[in-house]
Amino acid sequence: MLRRSVILLFSLLTLSLYAQIERVEPTFWWVGMKNPQLQLLIHGSGICNRQVIIQYPGVQVLKTNRACSPNYLFVTLNIDPKTAKAGLFDIRLREPEKADLSFSYELKNRRSKSAQREGFTSADVMYLLMPDRFANGNPQNDNIDSLPDKVNRTLDDGRHGGDIKGIQDHLDYIKGLGATAIWCTPMLENNYEKASYHGYAISDYYKTDPRFGNNGDYVNLVEASHQKGLKVIMDMVANHCGTGAWWMSDLPFEDWIHQWPAYTQTNVKFSTLKDTHAADVDKKKFIDGWFDKTMPDMNQQNSYFWTYYIQNSIWWVEYANLDGIRMDTYPYNDRDAMATWAKAITDEYPHFNIVGETGLYNTPDNAFWQKDAFNSLQYNSQLPTVMDFTLQTSLSKCFNEHGKPWEEVGMNRIYNTVANDYWYANINNILVFVENHDTQRFNNLIKGDLDKFKLAMSYLMTTRGIPQIYYGSEIGMTGNKDKNDGDVRRDFPGGWPGDSINAFSAAGRTPVQNEYFNYLSKLLNWRKGKEVIHTGLLTHYVPENDVYVYFRYNDQEKIMVVINNNETEQTLNTDRYAESLKDKTTGTDVLTGKNYNLSSAITIPKETALILELK
């Protein structure tokens, strides 16, 4: 009886001691990383004066730092690349006249050739989806007791129940469409009372939101995607967290986030970052102001936070076996900190790719953020890929307008945008798109005109860069951002039990939806094997009569693209393109199979794009 009492007392004491260690991040790490140093964030009641003791071959405590809060320790370890082995070891926290605290930490082996993984490239087509609005594969995780925002599909800004299983159940649909990479908006925990569905107010950077699934489910999604030849890009957010973030009730440092005497929102003045005449107060308000009342602005000049965030990004790449990162609200961040972040990741993974949401609407401003771009500030972002918002703006307008040859309308918009490509350091590494989750739905802008949709998609899939499409565009989905953001983030039909239309199958789609899908699917699947489109050179000609002609070519192949943006058919005199045609006399349209004799004038039907393989 006495022995049982002692064991029970010891068990209770042990539980009490472990309860004081509430969190350790990163939750585990790997041997053989290029950077041998690892910073541990340890959070627990009153642990700030503890000495850290580790006795494990190849692991050395370099320094221990207190925070302002007594409940944190930041511990920097050196993990020797030659002597440290994968395994579990104890980390003890010691303080005189107090019982030791102890927890186990694990070092893992990396996947074979993990450092040499190839990221997404211009050979890919990226499919952007919002997990909450794509498909509900597991209704049992729709509501979580500990998280206040519950499912309500009647609300545009409510949670609708889409999840990881819903995505995994429809990987064949995405593959069949012809996309080769998936970008999901953030799926980390968002602990907030409303509008948490979008995922951009993260409350736990190491935890998948349980309404989507768990970390293991996310890893399984990536693995299942890889088995089907699909890459996965993780959407990350460095600029801000959510007010529900676990540290908000106990900040490690007062300057862990940017704090103001009263709520201060960013002034959204991107120009202050490069304006040599800008006032410091304006620069500070842009960078340090909060994105929204629900999204505290992180202080990336706090070295402990920034090391924490860099490690978190690498942790997800390694743990989930990612193929890329999309970084949210890129220019709102501290630009020097972001350069450090991007370089740390690409140093660890030299062939990896990262795209930043640059959100700027002229080419020089956009190109400024690409790695190795020329600028008089001598700034190098180290960011491989930027989003071509300049082209997106042109595409959102050009198919609804016509004008004089000298006017900035119609096909002249595209021509003039592409004419500024000399600003970019790497023209293949720009993300091109007509819409995303923050813009108007393209099909809303063109009022559901299938011909205009075909023009836009034909251009998008044959121009320079990495194309991105937005879920549902391939079936003509619409939505009006002027109503609210949720309206351009509607549920994919067929993703929920009881949906009247199941657009995931040809039999379930309407005839019009199938027209959209079949056209885009044929185009995407043709593009997969076309290196000339992925990396070929581009020559374009000044539009005449709102007809835009350009060529993609390499040493092996040449493609001629003709876009007639008119409401009437046009006759094209091919003599003008002799320098590009040279000895090519015929062209076969990849979408219709029709042959064209290019030694004489050809007729282009109204609002039609020709993609001609030349012979």
The catalytic site residues sit at 328, 357
Q: Token digits for 534?
A: 């992925």
List the end-to-end C-alpha distance of the chain, in Å, as a whole number: 93
How many Å apart are CA 259 and CA 262, to the nearest integer?
Answer: 8
Listed in order, strand segments (DSSP E) in 173-296 are 181-184, 188-189, 204-208, 231-236
Bridge partners (DSSP) of residue 384 are: none
How many Å apart are CA 210 and CA 190, to the nearest integer?
Answer: 10
Pairing of strands 231-236, 324-327: parallel
| Sequence-ordered list of residues with C-beta below 8 angstroms from that of 100, at least 6 positions apart, any chain | 17, 92, 93, 94
Question: Amino acid identity of 264?
Answer: T
Q: Which residue has the tokens 């082209």?
A: 391
User: Are 361 and 394 in contact, with CB atoms under 8 Å apart?
Assistant: no
Closest CA to 197 of 184, 183, 208, 187: 187
Mapping DSSP onto H, E and C, the string for 299-321 reads: CCCCHHHHHHHHHHHHHHHHHHC
In the DSSP assignment, the letter for residue 35 is S
* H or E stretch covering 540: strand 537-544
Closest CA to 461 of 385, 526, 512: 526
Listed in order, strand segments (DSSP E) in 407-483 are 430-432, 466-470
Pairing of strands 59-66, 72-79: antiparallel
What phi-psi label fits residue 176: left (phi over 0), alpha (psi between -120 and 50 degrees) or beta? Answer: alpha
Angle at 505 between CA 499 and CA 509, to 5 degrees: 65
User: Are 604 and 596 in contact, with CB atoms under 8 Å apart?
Assistant: no
User: Are 510 and 529 in contact, with CB atoms under 8 Å apart?
Assistant: no
Helix, coil or strand: residue 295? strand
DSSP of 363-384: HHHHHTTSTT---TT-------
User: Are 517 and 477 in contact, with CB atoms under 8 Å apart?
Assistant: no
User: Are 106 and 91 in contact, with CB atoms under 8 Å apart?
Assistant: no
Question: How far from 543 is each of 350, 432, 446, 614, CA to CA, in Å?
Answer: 40, 21, 21, 21
User: Are 432 and 465 in contact, with CB atoms under 8 Å apart?
Assistant: yes
Angle at 544 between CA 403 and CA 431, to 5 degrees: 85
Helix, coil or strand: residue 6? helix
Helix axes 335-348, 303-320, angle to 10 degrees: 30
In the DSSP assignment, the letter for residue 56 is B
In the DSSP assignment, the letter for residue 426 is -
Question: Amino acid identity of 120?
Answer: F
